[in-house]
Amino acid sequence: MINYYLDIVAFAVVFVVFAFFRTKRRTKLESFHVFYWMLLTLVCYLMLESLTLFYVMDGDSIRRASDIIRHSVNAVYMIVKVFFITMFTMYLCSMMSVRNKVSRGWRFVVYLPLIPVMIVSVIASVYACNRGLGIMETRRLPMALYTFYLSLAYYLLVTLWVGVRYAGVQEKHSVVHVMAANFVMALTMAVQQAFPYVRIAPFIASIGLLDILFTVLRPDEVFDNTEALKKVYLKRFAHEDLDHEIPFTLFLICVHDYNVIAESMGPQVADFFLRQVTLSLFDMNENISVFREEKNVLAVRMTNVSKKDAGNIKRHIEDRFRFPWRIATAETLLSADVLMVHCPDDIPDSKSFDTFLSRYDRLDPVKYATLSISDLLAQDRDEQMLTAIRRALKDDSFQVYYQPIYSTSEKKIVAAEALIRLFDPEYGFISPEDMIKLAEREGYILEIGEKVFRAVCRFYSENHPEKLGIEYIEVNLSAVQCAKSKLAEQFIKIMKEYGIESKRINFEVTETAAMVTDSTVISNIHYFEKNGVKLSLDDFGTGYSNISYLYNIPFSIMKVDKAILWSADKNRKADLTLKNTFMMASKLGIKVVQEGVETEEQIKKLLAIGCDYFQGFYFSKPVSGKDFLAYVRDFKLPAVCKGSEEGRNGNDK
């Protein structure tokens, strides 16, 4: 008796994978394209498996169906089964970018076993048909068995060679997942070939694809919530095309109303509208790639299109913006400018392309309509900063400074915020704010963030500031870092490497990052919480009006932006806002750090309303690690802080 329940489960799993992957198939990323074909091949494999199973179980069907039809279906089944393993090997090759590293003959190497498999499948089926053999007997013929096993062994060797040869191209855990899935599927198929009634191969294959989708492909890291590819892929595609002299046309669509919608209705609503724009672009032409170039800019890339056709497409896009965009019951007109760029005619090489994008991102919106591409290619300050960033990454010359944080209850310095500094030998001091924005935009922030965190952990392990009463160091995490898969695991591992207790690090998350509902961000936050690492909400009061993240995310500390404090000195409404912010934090059980404390009057005001911590130039500017330790050792309590306890008690009453 054949148990077909696992086949039903396999169909259900494939349906789930296909439903989730449906909107992602339009991407031109090779790994996604190959995965799509793997999925279709698995569907064919399952259908053929079910059909042949039907023939085996239903005697009447066997009698009704001619031998030629039955054995033809079985021959196709045997070929498709091997083709599925072929596509799995092809996926590993695409993931490791093999096509960029070896000659064109690599595809022939991958597809080679299919030739003998097809020949043997046809011969075996003809032989079985003439001898009156059944389907299961056909599959156990020596010629069919040996050919199948040899093809599996071939693909396992290719998988092993590619995985070892190009191990450094992808994250180790991704490579291991794909290789392990390939080995397990090959093993189960071999078992089922020898014992046809042990039906586990389709189920294992479907689980393998499900695992790859969420652990290797990770669509959340490739696409944003507008269904557009993230900016890093725009550069990757453009660089590959320019390096291989493949012409393409780029349309940059700047939606001017995005910021207004984001500020009034929240960034999620603004993204929903932008998603409608993305979907409408796909409706115009399926053979395009859409990227999120900036929060309010979409980039559309097209290849093999004439300048005349590109001009027509540009007018079509502009015409669409003359009509309203709709989400549920909400409807609005969006204004946009479209810039068309022909590469390599307008932009000849990869370096010029990066310069062009960098300057486009900083352009005044009123100038989009009269934009000159040649002006955007001029050398500017950003190029100097990028040169300095690349040099600092290569030479490991970023410096970490520490700004003390004073506790009003303990009347001493108990913590510090780690801040990055860059002093370039050619360009001098680089503004941290400008440098971080540029690093996020150009894709360097992840590497910089890891270097900074390692420097902080090394400083803590070498100097043991806890002996001076320093309870923790605050480290900033940008929205880009929070959206990196397994960032929390990576940073926890670094802490263990340096022997740092979880309570010694407090990660500062900006309001922008806190507003993101991406599953990767949420996963990172929960992993930090699970491992005892506390989180601070940074720059409170500078983000969006939706503050639900205060009770949805486990923040233990809230850092109030200096702008609120400085405004409170001159504006009565700002003063009320400051007091109510502290009152709200107190009722939520969240400690408050006030940033930008510079005068005694500010300290008196903050003590009166129950501020927990002070940070600002009144105590110290950011200083080197050595100077920070000396400052803590020599710290003298300012006279204005001696009444902190009375101020807090008075506020409690």
Query: In order along the chain (653 residues), what is the average pLDDT of each group of 10 residues?
Result: 72 84 68 87 87 61 61 88 91 79 75 92 89 82 91 92 80 84 88 77 88 83 85 89 90 88 82 90 83 91 89 91 81 87 87 81 57 60 84 92 94 94 89 86 88 94 94 90 87 94 89 62 86 86 58 81 85 86 88 92 90 94 95 92 53 39
pLDDT, residue 538, reads 84
Q: Determine the pLDDT at residue 548.
A: 59
Residue 513: the pLDDT is: 63
Which pLDDT does position 440 carry in this prediction? 84
- Overall pTM > 0.75: no
Q: Report the C-alpha gap between 558 and 406 in whole angstroms.
A: 15
Sequence letter at residue 591: K
User: What tokens does 379 get?
Assistant: 């050398």
Could you tell me the two tokens for 389? Answer: 């960033």
Query: Residue 198: phi, psi to the nearest 5?
Result: -90, 95
Enter the tokens of residue 401. Answer: 């400074």
Give me the phi and psi of 265, to 5 degrees please: -120, -5
Q: What angle do CA 41, 43, 46 make, to 5 degrees?
A: 110
d(CA 624, CA 647): 33
Length of the chain: 653
Report the candidate in 267, 292, 330, 273 with the shortest Cα–Cα distance to residue 549.
Answer: 267
How many angstroms separate the CA atoms of 292 and 444, rounded? 17
Q: Which residues contact 397 (CB under 8 A, 6 or more apart)?
A: 391, 422, 423
For 584, how many CA atoms within 13 A lie in the half-sphere containing its CB? 14
Supply the pLDDT for residue 55: 61
Q: What share of the chain is helix, strand, coil (3-state, %, to 5)?
A: 60, 15, 25
Q: How many CA atoms lie within 13 A of 648 on its CB side?
A: 15
**Alpha carbon distance 258, 224 (integer Å):** 15
What is d(CA 171, CA 187) in angstroms, rounded to the nearest whole number?
25
Packing angle between helix 172-194 and helix 142-165, nearest 10 degrees? 170
Any idea which residue has 């001029």 for tokens? 378
Q: Which residues fall within 8 angstroms of residue 442, CB to CB, at 6 or more apart?
A: 354, 358, 386, 389
Handedness of CA 179, 184, 189, 190 (dihedral sign): positive
Q: Which one, of 582, 527, 588, lies nearest residue 559 by Cα?
A: 582
Strand spans (E) along 72-149? none
Secondary structure (H, E, C), 578-619: HHHHHHHHHHCCCEEEECCCCCHHHHHHHHHCCCCEECCCCC
pLDDT (0 to 100) of residue 66: 67
SS3 state at 304: coil
Q: Which tokens is 12 given?
A: 């259900």
Q: Which of 234, 378, 340, 371 is nearest to 294 (CA)?
A: 234
How far, in Å, CA of 475 to CA of 466, rounded? 16
* DSSP 3-state of 3: coil
Task: Name the β-bridge partners of 400.
Answer: 420
